[in-house]
Amino acid sequence: MRPASFNRSYPLLTFLALAIQLLSGLTTLRAATGDSQASSSSGEEVRWNPALPREWVAWNVRRKPFRLLGPIHYVGPAGVSSFLITTEAGHILLDTGFAATPPILRENITALGFKLTDIRYILSSHAHVDHVGGHALMKRWTGATVVASQADAALLASGGTNDYSGQELAVMGYPPIVADRVVRDGDTVTLGGVTLTCHLTPGHTRGCTSWTMEVADEGKTRHVLFFGSTTVLPGVRLVGNAQYPEIAEDLTRTYRTLLSLPCDVFLAPHASFFDLASRAERLAGAPGVNPFVDREFPRSFLASAEQRFLEQLARERTAAAK
Ligand SMILES: [Zn+2]
């Protein structure tokens, strides 16, 4: 769906999103026993959506939070990242996991000695169910300003239902949220001496956003890249995609953008993308040498991701020419 037509169909999509939540809520009530669920200690029930793939349950298991580099803390569960960037003037939260993730975020943020009510901004990598599902509840708990790119703001407002990828709506849907601030390429979010710069990296979602910041570490300036994602989801076509005709051009430009950014520290919305578990273990075992500082890794990660993209594009072009 194009953003232009989205405006006209927005009330319908919002209704659809709310109906899906209601339906999945009813299903949850019937199928609650035995399924993985997180409940908030304040009595607010936060349940795992049983329509989500079984293998995603492990992504939402709590893991120990830790200070990653400078003001950047990892506060997410084991598989889907959330980063808390702390300053004297308040904090910035990047990504909120699934709708069932906020109790984990609250526990982790509190365990590190920070207050939820000090969170001033909520940012996102891209507006899919596993990264912004918790936005609505985190907004309620913190009163923070929700920041998103224009296209991801449209996806957020639809509760994940106006995504082009054609995945099942019962899986992709999440509590809708209206962005308070829309950012364009090059815009910044500044708080307490920390500046995050927005880089539009469309393709995985139309509004997929990568963020950069600089961190002073051991007398050096470390360039941190919060990668937004470039994954081409199963079933998504790069050639002749009626829902997203410019997807191949967008991804081509996105790889140029990402590879042009200086990067000493590569962080990503999925823990597996940047070897979170093994690097965290090494960080705890050898203070002083930060294993998240790794200049080679982003180049090789992005080069092999781009290679897979180009191979799929070539295959589809060959098939289309026949
Ligand atoms: Zn995604």
Looking at residue 116, the DSSP 8-state letter turns out to be G
Q: How far is the CA of 35 from the centre of ligand 1 (A)?
A: 23
Separation between Cα atoms, residue 231 and residue 209, nearest integer Å: 13
User: Ligand 1 center to residue 65 CA distance, Å?
Assistant: 22
- Cα separation values, 166 from 130, 152, 169, 255, Å: 16, 16, 8, 23
CA of 135 to the centre of ligand 1 (A): 15
* Cα 106 to averaged position of ligand 1 atoms, centre (Å): 23
**What is the pLDDT at residue 46?**
87
Q: State the average pLDDT over residues 102-131.
A: 98
Q: What is each CA distance from 28 to 134, 142, 175, in whole angstroms?
A: 17, 26, 15
228 Cα–ligand 1 center, Å = 9
Measured distance CA(43)–CA(256) in Å, rounded: 47
- How many whole angstroms from 126 Cα to the centroid of ligand 1? 6
Residue (of 73, 66, 69) closest to 93 by Cα position = 73
Distance 113 CA to ligand 1 centre (A): 30
CA–centroid distance, residue 218 to ligand 1 (Å): 34
Q: Which domains, from first to last, does the chain contain?
A: 3-321 (3.60.15.10)
- Asked if residue 145 has pLDDT above 50, the reply is yes
User: How much is the mean pLDDT over the chain?
Assistant: 89
Closest of 215, 301, 292, 220 to residue 258, by C-alpha: 301
How much is the average pLDDT of 153-172?
95
Confidence of residue 322 (pLDDT cuts 50, 70, 90): confident
Q: ipTM score of the complex? A: 0.96
Task: Provide the pLDDT for residue 5.
Answer: 34
**Kind plus residue range of the DSSP H or E element containing 157:** helix 150-157
Cα(75) to ligand 1 centroid in Å equals 19
- DSSP codes of every residue in 262-282: --SEEE-SBGGGGTHHHHHHH
Q: How far apart are CA 190 and CA 213, in angstroms?
A: 10
229 Cα to the center of ligand 1, angstroms = 7
Does the pLDDT of residue 14 top 80, yes or no? no
| pLDDT tens per residue, range 245-258 | 999 999 999 999 99
Q: State the distance from the centre of ligand 1 to the C-alpha of 134, rounded, in angstroms.
A: 14
Give the Å distance between the CA of 82 and the centre of ligand 1.
Answer: 14
- Note the pLDDT tens digit of each residue in 256-296: 999 999 999 999 999 999 999 999 999 998 777 799 999 99
- Ligand 1 center to 194 CA (angstroms): 26
Give me the mean pLDDT over the 152-174 stretch: 95
Ligand 1 centroid–CA 204 distance in Å is 6
